[in-house]
Chain A
Amino acid sequence: MSNPLHAIRKAKLFIVHHDWTQIAAAALILLSIYLAFIWAPPIYAPMTSTFEEGGSYFASGKEEFTVGDQTLTGPRNIHVTSIAETGTAYVVTGELDDGRVAEMVIQKADVENVREQQGSGSDISSLVVTHNIFQGESWRIFYFHVGISWVMALAFFHTFVASIAYLRTERERWDVVANAAAEVGFLMATLVLVTGAIWAKPAWGTWWDWDPRLTTSLVLWLIYGGYLALRGEGMERQAAVFGVLAFASVPITFISIRLWRTVHPVAIESSGANIGTNILIAMLVALLAMSFLFIHVMSLRVKLGLAEKKVKEKKRSIRR
């Protein structure tokens, strides 16, 4: 009964008979949801964008600020020059990108609220400069946004490699892999745009902005939409060529936030992470979870693709 060999054999059978990537993906996604929503500390805006470096503040759509006698909202970049204190509020003065002087009033209660959740010791200027205090809890979508965009890049890389392999070997299997990866990648690209927009609305005050990172992501979506539209009977080789050429845009999307001035935040830079340790751990778990999800979905889609090919062949042989 309590034979250890027996137990090991049982465990072996369990692993062989169950789709362990599915189990791992499900478990890790549950874990990352727990980490993202419960375990990770509830500070606001874990990341700074390049705009915020050097004492500038990226105003989201919710803050009202005045320029002359105009009251404006909407995503703006304010280079903070001074912060004054009144009875219940701070008055932040700075310059907009076009040189006009803007004034913004931040209620002390809001700042206290943030300070409480972030721990003591942070002064008002660092809060104003590095943290967009109005985006609320919406930043937590970033775990999934980053995870999904990582899977997107992984999927497009698979399309690239499988396309080269198909052109070299002419083996149908590689064509199936390239197609499966492009479909998964396209779905993930859609989700990247959707999750990004969900976060951008509270953080920037707008669903969409023609920012380099957003533009290049949309372009990726269009390119692989074109790839999927190109696929069809007898187009395997042409699709593979397009799969190779299309990949040139993927690295450009990923370096776009470092290449150009952008409002998109940078979580990991060459100089280190812009985020706290807890958040980094939760993010890595989310990345791992999404990777397992990718492996699982890919294996399902490849199996399905191979089965489709088999059915087509059978149909053809019956017709003859």
Chain B
Amino acid sequence: MSAAGFLKKAYTIAWKDLSAELRAKEMINSMALFSLLVLLVFSFSFGPIFRNVDQFGSAALWVAITFAGMLGLSKSFLNEAVTGGLHGLMICPVDRSAIYVGKVISNSLLVFALEAFTVPLFVIFFDVPGVPPTLLAVLLLGTFGFVAVGTALSAVAVRTRARELFLPVLLFPLTVPVILGGVSATKTLLGGGGFADVADWVKLLVMYDLILFTASIATFDYIVEE
């Protein structure tokens, strides 16, 4: 199969997910509200006392994004399993890894949309002087790693008896390097650091993203197989 054909199939699957989501707006609404709540709680408890955004802001931002992202990820395969959509996907004449890549694309876009909503709120509530473009790059890298692992584990968690409740148990420890790297890099960037100061963290993020994305592509076949 050619690479273009593979990507086209993945894109089709991603589009299927996104159009369903655009119609129902089931996930993005609850994700956005949840991230707003997290930011409010953080801002309420730390905001008035500590104005230094780099100390608490980075943690608040990442908690808001990862917790809200978790909501979306846990639904990603649950809906398919409940409605029987997974069986439909399985009999599609596509490579199983195309299903995975498609889901990663749609989930990533969903979380990017969430970030487009969360980051401006973050700027408002935490009185952030400015968002450097490097910070956006760090957010994209961290999100991609989080979603890449989360999508694979979402398919694993759906098979367990506890279903989506099992996802955080598997996902959070495994994405600690991503969250750690993201939080630390954000902290430095908000404190006025440049790209050179966070280069090590960015390297870690890229490495981890690549390793887990390829490992997930290689093993996804086995997760969904009956």
Contacts and interface: CB of A to CB of B under 8 A. Distances in A.
Contacts of A245: 149, 152-153, 174, 212, 215-216, 219
A248 B169 contact: no
Interface residues of B, number: 28
Contact of A249 (B160, B174, B200, B219): B174
A224 to B, nearest CB: 9
Contact of B219 (A219, A234, A241, A252): A241
Contact of B177 (A167, A232, A238, A252): A252
Given A222-B173, A238-B156, A242-B153, A248 B223 contact: no
Chain A's interface: helix, strand, loop or mixed, by majority?
helix
A235 B161 CA distance: 10
Given A219-B176, A235-B160, A238-B159, A167 B222 contact: yes
A248 B219 CA distance: 14
Interface in A257-311: 259
Contacts of A248: 174, 208, 211-212, 215
B6 interface: no
A219 B222 CA distance: 25
A266 to B, nearest CB: 18
A311 B156 CA distance: 27
Contacts, number: 69
B125 interface: no
Interface string B201-222: 0001000100110011001101
B177 A249 contact: yes
A237 B223 CA distance: 6
A230 interface: yes
A229 interface: yes
A144 B133 CA distance: 48
Interface residues of A, number: 25
Given A241-B152, A241-B156, A245-B152, A219 B173 contact: yes
Interface string A207-219: 0000000011001
A223 B174 contact: yes
A230 B162 CA distance: 10
A216 B179 CA distance: 12
A78 interface: no
A244 interface: yes
Given A242-B153, A245-B149, A232 B174 contact: no
Contacts of A252: 177, 208
A193 to B, nearest CB: 14
Interface in B167-200: 169-170, 172-174, 176-177, 180, 200
Nearest to B169: A226
B73 to A, nearest CB: 15
A220 B223 CA distance: 22
Contacts of B170: 226, 230, 242
Contacts of B149: 245
Given A241-B222, A249-B176, A252-B177, A232 B160 contact: yes
Interface in B62-109: none
A230 B156 contact: yes
Given A245-B215, A248-B208, A237 B153 contact: no
Interface in B117-156: 149, 152-153, 156
A219 B179 CA distance: 12
Contact of A244 (B159, B173, B219): B219
Contacts of B220: 241
Given A241-B222, A245-B152, A235 B159 contact: yes
Given A230-B166, A237-B223, A242 B156 contact: yes
Contacts of B160: 230, 232, 235, 238
Contacts of B156: 230, 238, 241-242
Nearest to B172: A222
Nearest to A245: B215
A255 to B, nearest CB: 10
Contacts of B180: 215
A241 B169 CA distance: 15
A237 B219 CA distance: 10
A246 interface: yes
B224 to A, nearest CB: 10
A35 interface: no
A240 interface: yes
Query: What are the 6 tightest A-B residue pairs by CB atom distance, in nearest-first order?
Result: A222-B173, A223-B173, A241-B219, A219-B176, A238-B156, A226-B170
26 contacts: A167-B222, A219-B173, A219-B176, A220-B173, A222-B172, A223-B173, A229-B169, A237-B222, A237-B223, A238-B156, A238-B159, A238-B222, A238-B223, A241-B156, A241-B219, A241-B220, A242-B153, A244-B215, A245-B174, A245-B219, A248-B208, A248-B212, A249-B174, A249-B176, A259-B200, A259-B204
Interface of B: 149, 152-153, 156, 159-161, 166, 169-170, 172-174, 176-177, 180, 200, 204, 208, 211-212, 215-216, 219-220, 222-223, 225
